[in-house]
Structure 1
Amino acid sequence: MKQDGSLCNNLKSIRTRLGMSQQDLANIAGVTRQTISGVESGQYAPSVAVSLRLAKALGCQVENLFWFEEDLPTVEAVLTKPVKSVQQLRVSLARVGGQWIAYPLVGNDAFRVEMIPADGEAGEAQSKTGTNKVQVRLLDDMDKLHNTVVIAGCTPVISLWAKATERWHPQLRVHYNFANSMAALRSLCRGEVHIAGMHLYDPQTGEYNIPFVKEALAGKNAVLITIGVWEEGLLVAPGNPMGIKTVTDLVDLGATIVNREPGSGSRMLLEQKLQEEQVPFQILKGFDRIVHSHKDVALSIVSGIVDAGVSTASIATAYGLGFVPLRRARYDLVILKEYLEEAPVQQLLSTLGHRLVQSQLEVLGGYDISKIGEVVASI
């Protein structure tokens, strides 16, 4: 029987999640492989008997396998950024501070290494009413979306921590938004994320992160929990063939750099060091050549496009580059106190002291994690 165009199924995703081939499932359910293929492709609508056989073979309810498109629930969510009109806007969803937040999966935000599966499909934003609210047709389980923690930050530690955490809490999902320190903090203030990661130094107070958080939160209460202290400095070609030792050497030796965007800790470090050594920003070749991640800094040097750029010792190690240390910086997690009682956030934070998490960070290199999980400030 040909399948009704409005009948949807996720047979393939459940089958592959269980490590079954089409033939494996066919053997267990007592049907042909062609039947499995036809159902998954939408070319065949199974009978009640076949549907029950498939559900039993996969250990789930028939309703988990098949549904009508019009039966998919919708929620109202707030878009985190404006998006040009697209026919289908794929989004990730999370519940933050009592409202649904929709993160557009567009351009680079649609990928990590592989394409990111969507949680829903959003309609057009209600721009006429002056809001970014959209109606989102859900493509995943509501329970999974409720059990999501959203972190914004720029350190690779976050993704390592998230992967390790999901091993103990399989129902927990960690959604990682890549953002520089100030962008992450602003995202927290706008209610778009649960946690912001940052590594900003205030030369006036000699403190890390705390002055920036106090200024940005505007009366909101938060805690700062440290991940560790990492080494920041200049990435250079392997063996440092130009003999770069300071930011002044970059000018004296005619080196070309790549810079990070305003608001990033790496850019702040470069500007502060240039000011300390009384080097005008604009005489440094490449000061206005901007990339938006630690990875892109490293790749610019690996490819020979530039001679140097500011990043961390762990990134230098990962890409086999030379490293000139400039400063040790503390990387903190900023969390609004109102989120600390939420079960997904508690589950995530509880794993900071676990040995497997710490082992992942230790082997990464360039981090002192002796105080990981400590509350360094309450604001």
Structure 2
Amino acid sequence: MPAKRRLVFSTVLVAVLALLHGVPWLVLVLAPGWPTAVTVTGTVLAVGAAVGFPVAMWQGHGARHRDRAAVAGDVWLGVVWQLFAWTLVAGAAELVAVVAGADRTVIRGIAVVALIWIAGLLLWGHRQAMRVPPVRWVDVRLPRLGADLDGFRVAMITDTHFGPLDRSRWSAAVADVVNGLDADLVAHAGDMADGSVEQRRGQAAPLARMTAREGRVYITGNHEYMSGAAAWTAHLEDLGWTVLRNRHLLIRRGAATLAVAGVDDRTAAGSGVAGHGTDLARALHGVDPDHPVLLLSHQPRQVSLARAAGVDLQLSGHTHGGQMWPFHLLVRAEQGVLQGLSRHGDRTQLYTSRGSGFWGPPFRIFAPNEITLLTLRAG
């Protein structure tokens, strides 16, 4: 990295760390005017966290891939983000109180209430992230679907993000839930893991025993291209899954046919992985134009391609439903949708899952996880 670029990167990093840790310090430690011992302790903790956080992230997510450091960094990322976001609110309340002439007791009360609220949110959010996802039942009417495929059931998981926290038991429980849904098709819409196959093999192992009448299909997400996409696609094939890399398969029942297609993630072309890249035309090559198309595409924003190609239903993940407030606003702005069923044009519908797992910080705040059972209804 050139010296000028390193300088800019370092400056931005220091500024972000100072802001993330400085605002909570100002609102919770300095402004309330605590006794000296409390103020000093709070200051030492804030400075220590600001210094230790990037070190943990570098050790955990850099070339060394130390899982314990990654867990520590990820946890603190979630904690400090909630501290920063909610102390902005608390800081505004403190400012109003000062203008109104409130004494120091009121300011301290606001700080204490903010801490209790943040701690409660984090505990609840951790439980939401670590739980086995509840099933979300969704009916989707496809006007072009033949009557013989009416009631076709697709069990969808996505964004499992097997990572530094060992969630093998969680993964096994997810497999049990999926198998209990009696689905016709199981689909994984990408972001399988954060880490190599060798690192996360145990967490992915329960995928081998997921069952469905018409099989199991999988596409790559953007995180596969940070974790060894070629190895992960080969491993999923070894586990008995059909990897839909810019291709399709046909499901026939009686007189009805459904094309199930999948494309590589939109980041694939720039990843350096040979032969990978989104190619919807290739995925749909040879599909009868009269047959309805179910498309797996990791990122919702790719629905513009699906709409242009006349796809009937796109299944996506990637957004995590925002995962932690207020990222909902950023995700919606970047992807166009956050979660749920939406219509795009006269024919194309999009279902965006909030995801089954989580990325990084083990928290889900105002963004519950899900396993989705989509029942396709004939038009």
Band the TM-score falls in, shorter-chain normalisation:
under 0.3
Task: Name the structure with the higher helix share.
Answer: 2
Task: Name the structure with the higher strand share.
Answer: 1
